[in-house]
Amino acid sequence: MAESPRRAAGRRLQLPLLCLLLQGATAILFAVFVRYNHETDAALWHWGNHSNADNEFYFRYPSFQDVHVMVFVGFGFLMAFLQRYGFSSLGFTFLLAAFALQWSTLIQGFLHTRHGSHICVGVESMINADFCAGAVLISFGAVLGKAGPAQLLLLALLETLLFGVNEFVLLSLLGVKDAGGSMTIHTFGAYFGLVLSRVLYRPQLEKSKHRQGSVYHSDLFAMIGTIFLWVFWPSFNSAPTTLGDGQHRTVLHTYYSLTASTLSTFALSALVGEHGRLDMVHIQNAALAGGVVVGTAGEMMLTPFGALAAGFLAGTVSTLGYKFFTPILEAKFKVQDTCGVHNLHGMPGVLGALLGVLVARLATHEAYGEGLDSVFPLIAAGQRTATSQAMHQLFGLLVTLMFASVGGGLGGLLLRLPFLDSPPDSQCYEDRVYWEVPGELEDEAQGPLRVEEPVTQA
């Protein structure tokens, strides 16, 4: 039974009140804890009589900007492939990422970069905050169209916290290397979202089936996201690595890995397609798997050939995943993965973590020379062997899968709280539930859209 309009309207206050509450809370925490670091503070920077050219800003800001474009333009448009969910895909990406940037500044600051009782911020903390926003958006992709914005904000609140903890355990406690986040971002975000989607399983989702696909133009909008992600992914993987050869080498690997995943995606998509036709879903997503798969090993001495081989494998696995595994995931495992994050971020992320295990295992003083200290400081310092580093890398993957699963489960329970506003099964993938949608132009082509008062889950 549909609830009364008055009660429904009351639930609509959840989003604005939550926004105001969260913004108020982060603002107070910023006032108490967040300070300039020595490169953004006028007095501290000029104290040391540095050359302006030494400011970290000039080494990392161009990469940061590319990452920023990926998070907001890339993820936003990539998820705008749904025919009636473009406003929500772009708008909620915008909202979730904006909140995650603030909140993860606090979480990551408390855990990693605290100086005394203060969190000191600059371009590096901005990159890390954007990375966390990326993980949140990956999870969002798994439940795209099936959760309301207030639910999603709560989810971001929880996920940012767990992201920070997992990252802390891996990078600070275990000494794992994962610059481009095959584990901390892609594996974590994907499995968090998949478990979440499992908990939120909707048996009646076929009521919204007619809105679940794309239309011609929405696929072109999605390609804006795909191509910007593809082009800027070298900056993503290299943004937080050590300067000099580290950033340079990571860019090179990501560049070549992506070309190989693109070629394998086209090959496989045509091979498995009806009449040899290509599928836009594959091209939009699987072609990016080459960026995910070198997220861990990208800063290591993977070699250009290694990058090609890894990208090829990732594109292949990802395309086959869309074709064969996604239907099984829904039918057998009751995971409704709207964007196929398992194929783009999940499997390639795990592959990337394993590639990191392999390449770390092969690390030698000869291959890295004096650069070993930048890439594997614990090996260089004699505190670990390459084998031990590889084992730590593998353990990091398991920890990530554990945190992601527990977090996704908790997130699912949180989002099932009955008073939270959630779209009914018949109104999934529909902008009109949350947005004023202009005109009726689009509707005429698709049959009438119900303009009835949207109801929430009982």
Question: Looking only at residues 183 through 212 of this chain, which bind its own copies when binding is defined by CB under 8 A?
Answer: none
Residue among 221, 325, 403, 429 that touches its own copies (CB under 8 A):
221
Task: Name residues whose C-beta falls within 8 Å of residue 194's C-beta, 6 or more positions apart in sequence.
Answer: 142, 329, 335, 337, 341, 342, 346, 408
* Cα gap 285→258, rounded to integer Å: 12
Comparing CA positions, the residue from 240, 105, 234 lying closest to residue 171 is 240
Task: Name residues whose C-beta falls within 8 Å of residue 306's C-beta, 6 or more positions apart in sequence.
Answer: 253, 297, 359
* Cα gap 369→156, rounded to integer Å: 42
Nearest approach in angstroms of CB 171 to its own copies is 20
Residue among 174, 442, 449, 457 that touches its own copies (CB under 8 A):
442
* Cα gap 46→133, rounded to integer Å: 32
Q: Which stretch binds its own copies (CB under 8 A): 166-174, 349-357, 395-403, 440-448?
A: 440-448
Task: Based on the shown chain and the rule CB under 8 A, indicate whether residue 25 belongs to the binding site for its own copies.
Answer: no
Nearest approach in angstroms of CB 254 to its own copies is 11
Residue among 30, 110, 201, 333 that touches its own copies (CB under 8 A):
30
Task: Based on the shown chain and the rule CB under 8 A, indicate whether residue 449 belongs to the binding site for its own copies.
Answer: no
Q: How many residues line the site for its own copies (CB under 8 A)?
A: 143
Q: What distance, in Å, lies between the first and last C-alpha atoms of the chain? A: 8
Nearest approach in angstroms of CB 333 to its own copies is 25
**Count of all residues that appear for the chain in the document:** 458
Task: Name residues whose C-beta falls within 8 Å of residue 440's C-beta, 6 or more positions apart in sequence.
Answer: none
Task: Based on the shown chain and the rule CB under 8 A, indicate whether residue 326 belongs to the binding site for its own copies.
Answer: no
Tokens representing residue 200 in the block: 């939120």
Q: Which stretch binds its own copies (CB under 8 A): 159-167, 188-196, 301-309, 344-352?
A: 301-309
* Cα gap 357→265, rounded to integer Å: 25
Comparing CA positions, the residue from 112, 236, 118, 233 lying closest to residue 163 is 112
Q: Which stretch binds its own copies (CB under 8 A): 60-68, 182-190, 390-398, 408-416?
A: 60-68
Task: Based on the shown chain and the rule CB under 8 A, indicate whether residue 327 belongs to the binding site for its own copies.
Answer: no
β-pairing verdict for 118-121 and 34-36: parallel
Nearest approach in angstroms of CB 161 to its own copies is 18
Residue among 3, 25, 59, 165 that touches its own copies (CB under 8 A):
59
Q: Which stretch binds its own copies (CB under 8 A): 137-145, 175-183, 259-267, 399-407?
A: 259-267
Comparing CA positions, the residue from 436, 338, 420, 448 lying closest to residue 78 is 338
Residues 94-153 that bind its own copies (CB under 8 A): 94-95, 98-99, 101-102, 121-123, 126, 149
Amino acid at 330: E
DSSP 370: G
Residue among 136, 155, 179, 251 that touches its own copies (CB under 8 A):
251
Residue 121 main-chain phi, psi, to 5 deg? -115, 150
Nearest approach in angstroms of CB 341 to its own copies is 20
Q: Which stretch binds its own copies (CB under 8 A): 191-199, 303-311, 336-344, 407-415?
A: 303-311
Residues 354-373 that bind its own copies (CB under 8 A): 366-372
Residue among 140, 188, 232, 322 that touches its own copies (CB under 8 A):
232
